[in-house]
Amino acid sequence: MSQQSLSVKRDGFTSSFGVLAATLGSAVGLGNIWKFPYMTGANGGAGFLLVYLLATLLIGLPVMIAEITLGRQAKANPITTLQRLAPRGQPWWLIGAFGMLAAFLIMSFYSEVVAWVFAYILKAIDGSILSSDPQVTGAAFGALISDPLQSLLWQWGVLIFIGGILLCGVSKGIEAVTKKLMPLLFLLLLMLCAVSLSLEKASEGLAFLFQPDFSKITGSVVLMAMGLAFFKLSIGMGTMMTYGSYFRDDQNIPSTTVRVMAADLFVSMLAGIAIFPAVFTFGFEPAAGPSLVFITIPAVFAQIPMGHLLMVVFFVLAAVAATGAMLSLLEVPVAIIHERFGLSRKKATLISLLILALMGSTCALTNSTLAEFKLFGMTMFDLFDYLSSNIILPAGGIFVALFVGWVWGFDKLKLALSNHGALANEGLVRVLFFLLRYVSPLLILLVMLKGLGLF
């Protein structure tokens, strides 16, 4: 596609609800339903939750607002956005380039977990995972992830599915799909919580989730909690910048962002409330790690009336949540390749999917063929996860905050966030600017250095 036709009409979100649904669709995903519960379980429960909440408020929220604002201002992919807004010759565009790398790293393992979810929809339908015996549900999960061919085929199936939606475009693809799916997700999670809360040891599960025990909080746990905050809000790697570029000019960015953050936290809480009472009631191990959800959730459903049907619905919804997030991840390289190289969206999508299929297969085979293949003592699945969440995303966050706080400056931020004076929110912008200029970058840096054991 020529540069000319790119500038004629750039696709974007069409309604205010569409903006909200797509942005929330990016934030809400397997991060809430899979990562949040297992990380909270593995790191001692409520203490971890508290650190995660603080990281979300003090770091996540300001950085997210900053990214969306920059994207909307420049109306371009993250690399072009930073090139347009930064003084000539300064390499801030590297934030976008590293963001694209992070997007591929995250998608590589994320698409494999989505693959498990898709496979579980079929297993839920045929009833083979419906058992309250942890041995049975554990064995079913083990069999799936240790089969190289199944893992690969499911992953590629997921890639084709997500690529297909993206080919329909921003408004007709991303916006249309997420608008339908997000409300459904809330409904189902609420139902699931009601069931879980009626279980025998519900109170033990809730105590685990809500009564802090700080003895488990170490530097590396704090780093993981912060990494989760970045991962959850899809920040530090250009996704929110890209989505910001599709925001409408009259959209109230701070209020949209706060709503997305709150709804995202709410979904994580609901997932925690759905899962931990069951973990304690059926004698599972809260620290089970990435397999937690795939082993406990079937056991919960095995106990309840209509459990079979509800389990199918649950995995469909997990797939739904994951779809919105995957779309936003893939949109980063697609937008960059499409706009920077003047290729059509279709070509950009295909190229991205090809790169992803190659990189992603190292994660798909992590529990089978490549189980012994480790770098820095980690499998590719764990390494990509660790590198992105604990290093690239926080580093991206530091630079976004520094860029807005020290280069772009208060006046431009104020103008952009007030929609050129239409909104009276100067006080809020001042607080935000202070956070971005000093608090967020310093905090992120400290947590990173401490968590990586550098001081």
Binding site for ligand PHE (CB under 6 A): 26-27, 29-32, 106, 231-232, 234, 239, 325, 328-329
Return the number of the residue (291 or 418) whose C-beta is nearest ligand PHE: 291
Q: What's the min distance (Å) between Cβ of 186 and ligand PHE?
A: 15
**202 or 327: CB nearest ligand PHE:** 327
Amino acid at 335: A
Q: How far is the CB of 234 from ligand PHE (least distance, A)?
A: 3
Distance CA 300, CA 303 (A): 6
Give whichever of 118 and 280 is closer to ligand PHE, judged by the CB atom.
118
**Closest CB to ligand PHE among residues 104, 280:** 104
Tokens of 90: 């300064």
- Amino acid symbol at 209: L
The least distance separating ligand PHE from the CB of residue 29, rounded to whole angstroms, comes to: 2
Least distance to ligand PHE, CB of residue 309, Å: 25
Q: What is the DSSP letter of 378?
A: B
Of residues 268 and 418, the one with the C-beta less far from ligand PHE: 268
List, in order, residues 6 or more apart from 111 with CB less than 8 Å away.
155, 158, 159, 162, 326, 356, 360, 363
**Complex with ligand PHE: residue 381 or 433, whichever CB lies closer:** 381
Concatenated DSSP letters for 164-231? HHHHT-IIIIIIHHHHHHHHHHHHHHHHHHHHHHTSTTHHHHHHHHHS--GGG--HHHHHHHHHHHHH
- Separation of alpha carbons 11 and 81, rounded Å: 16
Q: Which is nearer to ligand PHE, 28 or 199 (CB)?
A: 28
Closest residue to bound ligand PHE by CB:
31
Three-state DSSP state, 375: strand
| Shortest Cβ 247–ligand PHE spacing (Å) | 16
Distances (CA, A) of 11 to 136, 151, 165, 404, 455: 48, 35, 15, 26, 47
